[in-house]
Each structure stands twice: as structure tokens, then as C-alpha cells.
Amino acid sequence: MLTQTTEYALRAVTFLATQVACDKTPSSADKIAAATQIPRRYLPRVMQNLTAEGLVESRCGVQGGYVLARSAESITILDVVNAVEPIKRICHCPLNLQSHTSLCPLHAELDHAYEVTEQAFANVTIAGLLNSTNPIIPLIDSP
């Protein structure tokens, strides 16, 4: 359901949140790419989308790199998804059938599933992911 670009964006934001939690300085593109396994040549596109939506800031200079623009507590999975490739809701018949003045049962159910997904993503913050009681830590290979 989520595209590879969206997956990359979620990894990048989660990584930047871990850096904030550890009081680290801005992270370079090379560091983000290595830690998240996002192809280095593709990372600028992902970061550009996140920056345009105000989730990430880009800082220039020797100590430059990327940082979260907002706290991890205020960034939801849905925020990241919407910054990159929003879930496309179904508002009218995709077939443009004249007789379908409202959604047919098929498209109504699909749209409902998208709505439930959006709600679920809106209820999970990046901080919540990092503070989970699950022993598996995002983006880290634990022994």
C-alpha cells in the first residue's frame, strides 16, 4: 500500500528523531543514507519533500545536515505519508459512470479502508514508535 518513497521518508524521519533523542548535531545525507539504507542518490528527493512540508530542516555549512523541524511527539506517520505521497481517497466513481451518483459498494469499501488507514496513521507519532515497549528498536540491528 505504501510506496518505497514513503517507506524511505518514514525511515529518514525516524532516524532523525533518534538523533534528537541522543542530542546529536544535524545528520548528513551520507549518514542518513547509511543508517536507513536509502539509496544515497535518491535521498535528496525524499528530504526535499519532507523539508517542503515543514517536517525537516536543512542546515548548511560544516556542521550542516538535516534535523527535524518539529518534535517527534508532534509528527505522526500520517504527516510523513502526506508529505511524500498522500493516500488517495475515492470521492467519485473512478470509472466516471454517469449512473454512479455516489460510490458503488466496491469503491465505498475501498475508501472506507483508506479512511481507517489514515486514522490509524494519525494516531501514531514518531516518538511513540521510538518509545514503544517492543524490544525491537527501529532501524537498529540488535544482537
Encode pLDDT of 22-59 as tens digits. 777 799 999 999 999 999 999 999 999 999 999 999 98
DSSP E strand stretches across the chain = 56-59, 65-68
pLDDT of residue 142: 56
At 96 the pLDDT is: 78
For residue range 82-102, list pLDDT tens digits in order: 999 999 988 887 877 788 888
Query: Domains of the chain: which residue ranges?
Result: 4-86+126-130
Q: Work out whether the CA dihedral 45, 138, 3, 77 comes out positive or negative.
A: negative
The answer to whether residue 137 scores a pLDDT higher than 80 is no
Position 141 confidence tier, pLDDT thresholds 50, 70, 90: low
CATH topology of domain 4-86+126-130: Arc Repressor Mutant, subunit A (1.10.10)
